[in-house]
A = this chain, B = another copy of it.
Amino acid sequence: MDSVEQLIKEIYDDIKSQENKGAVADYIPELAKVDPERFGVHYTSIEGNEFGIGDYQTKFSIQSIAKVLSLSLAYKYEGDAMWDRVGVEPSGNPYNSLVQLEDENGIPRNPLINAGAIVVCDILLSRFEHPLRELLDFIKSICDHEEVDYNLFVARSEKSIGYRNVALCNYLKSLDNLENEPEDVLDFYFTMCSLEMSCQNLSRAFLFLACDDFRNREGKQILPIMKANRVNAIMQTCGFYDESGEFSFRVGLPGKSGVGGGIIALHPEKYSIAVWSPRLNEKGNSYRGMRFLEEFTSRTNSHLF
């Protein structure tokens, strides 16, 4: 562990000392206000060793990272039946493409692109009377009961200008792949994306996907092994939009990024690690986050492949 701590510190300092590139997401004022130089890393091993550096305790908008959490919750209860409504193939297209839906009769390629995540929200809305409470409870159960909350300003702000997601959602409805009203699904979707967590929260929370037989503090299994494996497989092939291949190639871990600058990645049976740095590369993934993780798996020789 010491050497990992040391290594994280070294890589962190290295990257911090170099130019920070890319632009902060600014399509809503709440995201644009974030200091672009924030930079945090938090590592949690499956043995429970932890190490954080920089802004690892500051909460930020986890955005699309939340899609893995809602997917896990839906998969837990819905099981493989859900794959009739959403695929598990990489999309090869930008995250919010409508083209693919049109060509493929409303079945989104995977649950981590926007269209697929909207279908997952629809599944949760149909299944639970209080889907938002269920999701928050689920997160608490994997997160040592730390406070995790959503940001209503962010949610409303996204909704007020989220025309493309409104389009996606209505398009899904028109293609008969939405059970609830678009309006309601979008409310839940935008709220989910407004969840705020720190790097520490995230690397702890995602440990249930890194351990083959994870038990939370109460000793409860969150997801059966096979389902956890498969959620990881989806992250591996689909977690970074049209940069998913690149992430697998360079970093070599299952992971997921968010437009708020966060990235979660995990090495099965070893660790989970969260990085946050708001400047995004042209594909919409954290510039420093990508660089940090590439260095990290290369220097720890923990590229999964």
Contact = CB atoms under 8 A, between A and B. Distances in A.
A174 interface: yes
A245 B238 contact: yes
Contacts of A164: 170-171, 174
A259 to B, nearest CB: 15
Interface residues of A, number: 54
A-side interface mostly? helix
Interface in A250-305: 250, 252, 254, 268, 298, 301, 303-305
Interface stretch (A55-63, A97-105, A120-128): A97-105
A35 B152 CA distance: 51
Interface string A85-114: 001111111000111101100000110000
A237 B226 contact: no
Nearest to A231: B305
Contacts of A212: 301
Given A163-B173, A167-B171, A100 B92 contact: yes
Contacts of A249: 88, 230, 233-234, 237
Contact of A102 (B97, B182, B298): B97
A120 to B, nearest CB: 16
Interface in A204-246: 212, 225-226, 228-230, 232-234, 236-238, 242-246
Given A163-B174, A233-B249, 11 more contacts: A88-B248, A89-B90, A90-B245, A92-B93, A98-B99, A98-B171, A163-B170, A230-B250, A234-B249, A236-B305, A238-B245
Interface of A: 87-93, 97-100, 102-103, 109-110, 163-164, 166-171, 173-174, 182, 212, 225-226, 228-230, 232-234, 236-238, 242-246, 248-250, 252, 254, 268, 298, 301, 303-305
